[in-house]
Each structure stands twice: as structure tokens, then as C-alpha cells.
């Protein structure tokens, strides 16, 4: 869920310490570079047992730093200069040993000295990775509390199968999720304190146990909005129809299939939300009587009786305790007329309109925002960029 170059102009020092997850940091470096960041890698001596400096040098196009006494920096002071033009020092993976050193304020190698010499303009983000017993040890728990208290942003660890074969808490958060955490760190918190409910994707209406009526919605627009809202500080619940998309980091996802199940999931949650964004392409009709058995290929023709599904957005928007409701209108023609009509009919403060040919199922979208002030076209862009612009518009309307 990323647009191009969100980190352009940022410098990130990626510190790699001696854990098995070090191999994943190469992918993390690649993702950060892809987002436009300048990445400078620092490795501990132990990290070099797990991954080679050449890998990071090739990925980042920068020399890799590991020796406190390295004289390549013109003033010989890599331990100070490396973070001076950086906005983030990200330690991933962070070993138990590295965390203990940070807490003690040790300065006996390049990374620990760098951490101590870091100034306030360079935030510290730490992604712990270790065996579950090491993570659960009271010493590590104590250290983590102190580290958080010292202002470090801690991401993870995740639970699951570990390199040692044990199962538990201690895995490094996956590179794509760490990238999300980095992007969230740099996103202004315009939606802080807001609870946002979003529906996304298509619905699937059963014909029989193996067949459904569905549509071409990919879910990307709704997921991009959920991701952008979470990064902007909102508490986000995403009610998703069937899509192949990964759950955005920091978002609670509720999986549903049919329009009726999406309706039920929304009704049980909308009252706890400040904003409801109905992005899902909900089927207008469903088979009236889905067959309990697979329909056999015997007749020449098959007719399926369809009945109307509930209009989830209209239902919520009409309620006395309705949150700020945003509708999406995907039309094949006459966008202005239909989108404005939808806004008026459902009494919505905001409708996001797009032509089906412009956005449905694709990576990009071109939309028009319709509110009480009129129409506001947004130029064609990747869906994450469109999502950010829509959220900025919503947060402006919420303030008015």
C-alpha cells in the first residue's frame, strides 16, 4: 500500500545487529530506497556473521559503516556525523544485547556510540528480534520499559515460528510492516483521536455452495484509505469483502463475504465511530434463494431470481447517531449528475466519485470530491496518493 517516493528527501540510518533476522534487513533497505529514502547502513560486528556488508552497499549505493575507528568520514567521526543529517535511526533487527547497551548508555562500538550521540531531530525506532525466552526474560522486559521511557519507538516483536524452531513472541516484524511503521512515523497525525470505519472490496453473493455473484472491485482504494487513516493517527476498522490484499499495518480488519454480512458488521460498529467511509462495491442484488446443493449442468438455460440488498450507507447515514458519512460513487457515465444525486439523496457531507474506467480494479484512480462547496477534482494518481488527499479533505471538513 505505498505510493512512490513518500520518503523522498529523508535520510534513514538503518542499523543491523547480530540476529538471524538480519537477512530481512536487506529487503527493508530495498523498500526504504524504493520509497525514495537515502539509506545509510550501520552494522555491528555480530551482524556481519549473518549478512555481508556488500549486500547493503549494493542495495543502498552507499558505503556501509561498522567500525568506530573508520577514518572514511572526513573528520573521522562517523559516530557523530552519520545521524546528523538523518531523520530516523532504525535498528532492525535489534538484539537483546543491543537493547541492553542502549538502556545502559554504553558507547563501545559504532552503533551504541551513534545512539548516544544522536540529537533530537533524529528519532530512534527499534525492531526487537530474539528467541522468545530472551524476549520474556525480566531483564529484557525491564530494558524495553526503559527504552520506551527514553522515547524510542518500538515496533514489534511479532509472534510466530522462530529460527530456533520454538514458537512465540520475538520475531522481527516483517520488512513491509516496518516500512509502514516508518511511513506512519513521518505522516502528520491529522486524524489523531478519530475512529474510522471503512468498508472495502466487492461482496460475493452465493448462488450455490461453490458459485457467487460478485464484481471487479479490487479493494485497493478502501485499503489505501485504511492505511492512510491509520498512518494519520486514526483508530481504523476495515470491513473487507473478499480481496487478496494484505491487512494494512495498525488496522483492525473484519472479513465478510456477502452484502448482508457486511451490513451486519457495519451496524454493530458504526455507533462507536466518528467517520464512516463506504468504499466497498456492495452488490445491489443477491440471489433470492441460494441453492444448498451445487446446481447441476442439466438445463439449457438458468435463471436466477435476484432480490435487493440493503443500502448499507443509506441505512447508516439516515440514523440519528450517524457518524460523518462518506460515500463512493463509481459510475460508467454522467459522473457529476449521479454523484451529486447520491450525495443529496443520502444526505452525505461528502461523496467521492470516479468513472469506472478510471479506477475500478486498477492501481491508479482519478476522482472528484463532491461536498457542500461543490466539486473538487483530484488529478489521476496512485490510490495511496488519492487516499491521502481524500483524508486531508475529510479532516478539513471535520474541523469546519
Ligand X SMILES: Cc1cc2nc3c(=O)[nH]c(=O)nc-3n(C[C@H](O)[C@H](O)[C@H](O)COP(=O)(O)O)c2cc1C
17 binds ligand X (CB under 6 A): yes
φ, ψ of residue 119 to 5 degrees: the values are -100, 175
Number of residues that bind ligand X (CB under 6 A): 15
Q: Nearest approach, Cβ of 50 to ligand X (angstroms)?
A: 7
DSSP 172: P
Q: Nearest approach, Cβ of 136 to ligand X (angstroms)?
A: 13
Q: Closer CB to ligand X, residue 159 or residue 289?
A: 159
For residue 173, give the C-alpha cell: 516484524
User: Residue 242 to residues 75, 131, 267, 325, 358: CA-CA distances in angstroms?
Assistant: 57, 35, 19, 23, 22
Catalytic residue ranges = 164
Strands 285-287 and 306-308: antiparallel
Cα-to-chain-centroid distance, residue 146: 28
Site stretch for ligand X (CB under 6 A), options 23-31, 126-134, 341-349, 355-363? 126-134
For 122, residues 6+ apart whose C-beta sits below 8 A from its C-beta are 13, 83, 84, 86, 87, 88, 89
Quick one: which of 18, 233, 327, 384 contacts ligand X (CB under 6 A)? 18
Q: Closer CB to ligand X, residue 21 or residue 51?
A: 21
| Rounded-to-10 torsion of CA 363, 219, 395, 177 | -80
The continuous run of DSSP H or E covering 297 comes out as: none
The continuous run of DSSP H or E covering 96 comes out as: helix 96-104
258 binds ligand X (CB under 6 A): no
User: Residue 8 to residues 62, 115, 392: CA-CA distances in angstroms?
Assistant: 16, 24, 20
Cα dihedral sign for 263, 264, 266, 267? positive
Closest alpha carbon to 162 in 133, 137, 185, 183: 133
| Rounded-to-10 torsion of CA 337, 340, 344, 345 | 50
Q: Nearest approach, Cβ of 289 to ligand X (angstroms)?
A: 56
Quick one: which of 7, 19, 257, 324 contacts ligand X (CB under 6 A)? 19
Q: Nearest approach, Cβ of 17 to ligand X (angstroms)?
A: 3
How many CB atoms lie under 10 A from the CB of residue 332? 10
Q: Nearest approach, Cβ of 45 to ligand X (angstroms)?
A: 6
Site stretch for ligand X (CB under 6 A), options 2-10, 14-22, 119-127, 295-303? 14-22
Q: Nearest approach, Cβ of 55 to ligand X (angstroms)?
A: 16
Q: What is the DSSP string of 226-253?
A: HHHHHHTT-EEEEEE-S--PPPPTTEEE
Quick one: which of 20, 314, 378, 381 contacts ligand X (CB under 6 A)? 20
Q: Closer CB to ligand X, residue 95 or residue 190?
A: 95
Q: Nearest approach, Cβ of 153 to ligand X (angstroms)?
A: 19
* Interface map 284-323 toward ligand X (x if CB under 6 A): ----------------------------------------
Q: Closer CB to ligand X, residue 135 or residue 328?
A: 135
φ, ψ of residue 345 to 5 degrees: the values are -65, -40
Q: Closer CB to ligand X, residue 170 or residue 353?
A: 170
How many CB atoms lie under 10 A from the CB of residue 128? 31
Residues 41-100 that bind ligand X (CB under 6 A): 44, 46-47, 95-98
Residues 350-379 that bind ligand X (CB under 6 A): none
Site stretch for ligand X (CB under 6 A), options 25-33, 80-88, 129-137, 370-378? 129-137
Q: Nearest approach, Cβ of 141 to ligand X (angstroms)?
A: 14
Residues 132-191 that bind ligand X (CB under 6 A): 134
Contact 322/270 with Cβ under 8 angstroms? yes
Cα-to-chain-centroid distance, residue 15: 23
Binding site for ligand X (CB under 6 A): 17-21, 44, 46-47, 95-98, 129-130, 134
Amino acid at each position: 500500500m505505498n505510493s512512490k517516493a513518500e520518503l523522498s528527501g529523508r535520510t534513514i540510518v538503518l542499523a543491523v545487529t547480530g540476529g538471524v533476522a538480519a537477512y530481512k534487513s536487506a529487503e527493508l533497505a530495498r523498500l526504504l530506497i524504493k520509497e525514495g529514502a537515502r539509506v545509510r547502513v550501520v552494522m555491528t560486528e555480530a551482524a556481519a556473521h549473518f549478512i555481508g556488508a556488500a549486500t547493503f552497499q549494493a542495495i543502498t549505493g552507499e558505503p556501509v559503516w561498522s567500525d568506530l575507528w573508520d577514518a572514511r568520514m572526513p573528520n573521522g567521526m562517523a559516530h557523530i556525523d552519520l545521524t546528523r543529517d538523518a531523520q530516523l535511526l532504525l535498528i532492525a533487527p535489534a538484539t537483546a544485547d543491543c537493547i541492553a547497551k542502549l538502556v545502559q548508555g554504553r558507547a563501545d562500538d559504532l552503533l551504541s556510540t551513534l545512539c548516544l550521540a544522536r540529537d533530537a531531530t533524529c528519532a530512534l525506532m527499534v525492531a526487537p528480534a530474539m528467541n522468545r525466552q530472551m524476549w520474556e526474560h525480566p531483564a529484557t522486559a525491564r530494558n524495553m520499559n526503559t527504552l520506551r521511557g527514553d522515547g524510542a519507538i518500538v515496533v514489534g516483536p511479532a509472534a510466530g515460528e522462530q529460527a530456533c524452531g520454538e514458537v512465540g513472541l520475538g520475531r522481527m516484524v516483517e520488512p513491509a510492516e516496518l516500512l509502514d511503521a516508518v511511513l506512519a512515523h513521518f505522516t502528520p497525525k491529522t486524524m489523531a483521536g478519530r475512529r474510522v470505519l471503512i468498508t472495502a472490496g466487492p461482496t460475493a453473493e452465493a448462488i450455490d455452495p461453490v458459485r457467487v455473484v460478485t464484481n471487479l472491485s479490487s479493494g485497493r482504494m478502501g485499503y489505501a484509505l485504511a492505511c492512510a487513516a491509520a498512518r494519520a493517527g486514526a483508530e481504523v476498522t476495515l470491513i473487507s469483502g473478499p480481496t487478496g490484499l494484505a491487512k494494512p499495518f495498525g488496522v483492525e480488519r473484519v472479513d465478510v463475504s456477502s452484502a448482508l454480512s457486511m451490513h451486519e458488521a457495519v451496524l454493530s460498529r458504526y455507533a462507536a465511530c466518528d467517520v464512516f467511509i463506504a468504499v466497498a462495491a456492495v452488490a445491489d442484488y443477491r440471489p433470492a434463494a441460494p441453492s444448498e446443493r451445487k446446481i447441476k449442468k442439466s438445463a439449457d438455460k438458468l435463471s436466477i431470481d435476484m432480490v435487493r440488498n440493503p443500502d448499507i450507507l443509506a441505512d447508516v447515514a439516515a440514523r440519528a447517531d450517524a457518524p460523518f458519512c462518506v460515500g463512493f460513487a463509481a459510475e460508467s457515465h454522467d459522473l457529476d449528475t449521479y454523484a451529486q444525486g447520491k450525495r443529496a439523496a443520502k444526505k452525505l457531507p461528502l461523496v467521492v466519485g470516479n468513472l469506472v474506467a478510471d479506477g475500478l480494479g486498477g492501481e491508479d484512480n482519478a476522482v472528484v470530491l463532491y461536498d457542500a462547496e461543490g466539486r473538487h477534482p483530484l488529478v489521476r494518481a496512485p490510490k495511496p496518493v488519492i487516499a491521502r488527499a481524500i483524508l486531508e479533505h475529510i479532516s478539513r471538513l471535520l474541523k469546519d
